[in-house]
Chain A
Amino acid sequence: MTRGLSRGSVVATFVRSFLIQGSWNYRTMIGTGFGWAMVPGLRRIFRDRPEAFREALVRHTEHFNAHPYLSSVALGATLRLEADGADPETVHRFKTAVRGPLGGLGDSLVWATFLPAVSMAALAVYWLGLPGPAAAVFFLVLYNIGHVGLRAWGFRAGLETGREVGGRLAAAHLVHWTRRLRKSSVVVLGGVMGVLLGGEGGLGDAGLGWVALAAAGFVLGLFVGHHVWRPAAVAVVSVIAVLATWGVIR
């Protein structure tokens, strides 16, 4: 156990990291949640120095932002720095330095790759005939092995290495794994399309016209990107509204 920290305070800080976005706001972003999560560890470190404890709390409720899962890296490392008696300026500089990379890496690895990959895998097995509850459990188990594992690994890495956590992150080759996962995800994406096209009651059964329209929608999304999502959703809702109105008045 890191000097100055008890197992209980470390576990409590880690558990609190799951609520780090609880007070997400436009001023401190997740800073308030970061400070709240640090309280058990800081209370232990500064147990005989109430004034230093309060000053530390001010430091850690300032603006901070990172991906929520990888913020555990910053939490662990900051806790280690405080336990080692690092000066406030060093702690501040460290937090400022890591927030951008942890945000970008987390968004890329988790939101843009891992989540859609697992989600598509669950959708594929659902459309292949797995009952809905089993597909949901499949999704939750697979996703949370990665999610909780990443949080726990990140927190531990931060706590063990402190300011040197960048080296541990680099050694883990997260960017490389994101690229590899992305490549595998494309196969899963193709699989979902195949299942939707060829599955029972799928697009193939709906008729060639729908297959052509779906292909056009796919190409539109592929070339235009996120800008087309809202117009496409509005178009679908509008067509449904028109059809529903027509059904009522005919």
Chain B
Amino acid sequence: MSLLALATLGGAIGLDATSVGQFMVSRPLVVGVIVGWAVGQPALGAAVGAILEIYLLVSFPTGGSRFPEGATATVVAVGSCAGLDGPGTLAMAVAVGLVWGQLGGWSITWLRRANTRLTADWGGDAPRPARLARIHLTAVGLDFLRGVAVTGVGLLVCGGLVRAVATSWPLDTGHTFGLLLVGATVSLGILLHDFGGFRQHRLRLVLGLALGLLGARFL
């Protein structure tokens, strides 16, 4: 899949995060599967998406907050791995996803400032419906272009980087997975913190843990 096509895909999927629908097609788990399939790396795409999903479990697209953007970041992460395999690719993809998620978050702040200027010029005057529609849909279009630009630049910058270092990665699959999950479990801890903490939910947590271990053992 060409860089332009992937960037366009990033722009389209990125719209779902805030501007259009919020059906959560933009979550890393889903984006990883879609882009993995698009670049011919379905298993790697799903794995990268799943790991980034754990990291971003505590990242919500709430109102005015700045949050790491999972959609474009996952497109960049998985798209940068096209044609590559192995633990180094997985590690680099997750690192790229985490870094690009932050940059994507900054670009959303920029977009919101641009939207503020876009919607400012009618002041207290009555906007005509056609003008209102034009301004609103222009803002949606800007978000799409932002997603295309963030994804395109990300693929240009990170594609070569991942290709250069993934094959000389020093850890095996087990240790790489361990490293990536150490960071991910921080998010799970934060989530339990948000749910009310350990003391309040310790029995439920232990029950879930037991069920998970049993499921992993027997399924």
Contact = CB atoms under 8 A, between A and B. Distances in A.
Interface residues of B, number: 110
A224 B197 CA distance: 11
At the interface, is chain A mostly helix, strand, loop or mixed? helix
A122 B116 CA distance: 37
Interface of B: 18-25, 27, 29-30, 32-34, 36-37, 42-43, 45-47, 49-50, 53-55, 57-64, 88, 91-92, 94-95, 98-99, 112-113, 115-116, 118-120, 122, 124-129, 132-133, 135-137, 139-140, 143, 164-165, 168-171, 173-175, 177-198, 201, 204-217, 219
B216 A203 contact: no
Contact of A123 (B33, B50, B92): B50
Interface string A230-246: 00110111011101111
A126 B45 CA distance: 13
Contacts of B207: 187, 190
A144 to B, nearest CB: 6
A190 B204 contact: yes
Given A24-B112, A143-B24, A239-B179, 11 more contacts: A23-B119, A25-B112, A54-B126, A124-B215, A133-B46, A144-B23, A189-B205, A229-B58, A240-B179, A243-B169, A243-B171
A132 B41 CA distance: 11
B63 A36 contact: no
Nearest to B54: A123
Interface of A: 18-19, 21-29, 32-33, 35-36, 39, 43, 54-55, 57-58, 61, 65, 68-69, 103, 107, 111-113, 115-116, 119-120, 122-124, 126-129, 131-133, 135-136, 139-140, 143-144, 147, 182-183, 185-203, 205-207, 209-210, 213-226, 228-229, 232-233, 235-237, 239-241, 243-248, 250
Q: Which among B45, B47, B181 has the greatest number of chain A C-beta atoms within 10 A?
A: B181
B208 A69 contact: no
A222 B194 CA distance: 8
A175 to B, nearest CB: 14
Nearest to B60: A111
A57 B129 contact: yes
B70 to A, nearest CB: 11
B61 A133 contact: no
A92 to B, nearest CB: 14
B43 A132 contact: yes
